[in-house]
Amino acid sequence: MSKQVFEELKSLVTEASNPHTADIDTKSTREILELINAEDAKVPEAVRKEIPYIEQAVELLVERFKAGGRLFYIGAGTSGRLGVLDASECPPTYGTDPDMVQGIIAGGYEALVRSQEGAEDIYENGARDLKERGFTQNDVACGIAASRRTPYVVGAIDYARSIGAKTIYVTCNPRSEMNIPVDVAICPVVGPEVVMGSTRMKAGTATKLVLNMLTTASMIRLGKVYGNMMVDLQMTSKKLEERSKRTVMMVTGVSYEEAERVLEQAGGHVKTALVMILAGVSAEEARDRLEKADGFVRKAIEGF
């Protein structure tokens, strides 16, 4: 088994030695930082090339979300942590139910703060963890594995496919080597890492950018943004409370005091407050308009 893993790893782009940093251990601090920065600069272009596939994934997600489905990120190590991070940011940013986007990491909660690398090798646990979360055929499983081959992630995706669920895969190895059947594969190839095999670097950065795009574009398509402002955020902290007031003020031109008053009438819901002010209606009518407009503020203001 060890020899098989060795053979799998030696041919992966993410495990290759980077010729541009072969003598990095002889460099000064400034030179090391410049080398890292030069390699990092390659990441956005690699992600840009994958936009057609990211688009397909977003369309799939929007369709599933509208039907009541959920997104489950599943990964190990850095990949798993990035999935959990993206999922955890959706409720405060877009007012989503915590169940709507979930992150699962091999090894569970402890793996978020302390590396448990062996957890990624257990194929069966990927399916087990999806089952424990109540994953169904209406949901979407998004596997995240820089190397592509992570057994835990492959096991989860195989299970998702077996019950008829939609699947997405994010990997930093070439599409031509993608041998895992999924609905959409996203493959930003960032090349060998500055430090060989340290995929928390360029691969991690590329993955973070892709996940940002998946959920941000999906939430915009679901009407959770007005202009470029988040209007479904939850007022769960003083910062978010004040951001809500500022958003209402910026969009409508009302005073701080008026924004505070209307938000109180709207139950702290920015969307409702905006429709109340801009359409000149009550909180009840604003909520009714938003429901009929599928949550889109512009449509609710314009009366469809």
120 tagged catalytic: yes
Looking at residue 283, what is its pLDDT? 96
Return the CATH number at 64.
3.40.50.10490
Verify that 22 and 57 share a domain, yes or no: yes
Q: Are 155 and 125 in contact (CB under 8 A)?
A: yes
Q: The tokens 């979407």 sit on which residue?
A: 140
Residue 15 shares a structural domain with residue 82: yes
The pLDDT value given to residue 13? 84
Residue of 59, 89, 260, 285 marked active site? 89
pLDDT of residue 11: 62
Are 195 and 293 part of one and the same domain? no
Q: Give CA–CA dist 263/241, Å, rounded.
A: 10
For 280: left if phi > 0, alpha if psi spans -120 to 50, otherwise beta; the answer is left
CB distance 231 to 223 below 8 Å: no
DSSP codes joined into one string, 169-205: EE-SS-GGG--S--SEEE-----S-SSTT-TTTHHHH
Q: Are residues 169 and 194 in the same domain?
A: yes
Do 210 and 289 lie in one domain? The reply is: no
Same domain assignment for residues 15 and 153: yes
One domain, residues 73 and 189: yes
Say whether 89 is catalytic.
yes
**In the predicted model, is pLDDT for residue 233 greater than 80?**
no
- Shared-domain flag, residues 217 and 229: no
Integer Cα distance of 154 and 144 in angstroms = 9
From 221, 240, 275, give the residue that closes a domain.
221
Whether residues 281 and 269 fall in one domain: yes
Kindly state whether residue 3 falls inside one of the protein's structural domains: no
Rounded average pLDDT over 37-55: 97
**pLDDT tens-digit map of 263-288:** 999 999 999 999 999 999 999 999 99
Which among 221, 253, 283 is the end of a domain?
221
Phi, psi for residue 276 in degrees, rounded to 5: -55, -45
Q: Are residues 278 and 295 in the same domain?
A: yes
Instruction: Name the residue with higher pLDDT: 235 or 148.
Output: 148
Q: What total number of domains does the chain contain? A: 2
Q: Is residue 30 domain-shared with residue 177, that is, in the same domain?
A: yes
Domain range enclosing 254: 225-302
CB 160 within 8 A of CB 178: no
Number of neighbours of residue 114 by Cβ within 10 angstroms: 7
Rounded percentage of the chain residues whose pLDDT exceeds 70: 95
The verdict on 23 and 144 lying in the same domain is: yes
Q: What is the pLDDT of residues 180-218, one digit of tens each?
A: 999 999 999 999 999 998 999 999 999 999 999 999 999
**Does some domain include residue 211?**
yes
Q: d(Cα 145, Cα 179) in Å, to the nearest integer?
A: 13
User: Looking at the domain assignment, is residue 4 inside a domain?
Assistant: no
Residue of 39, 50, 120, 193 marked active site: 120
Looking at 189, 221, 253, the residue that finishes a domain is: 221
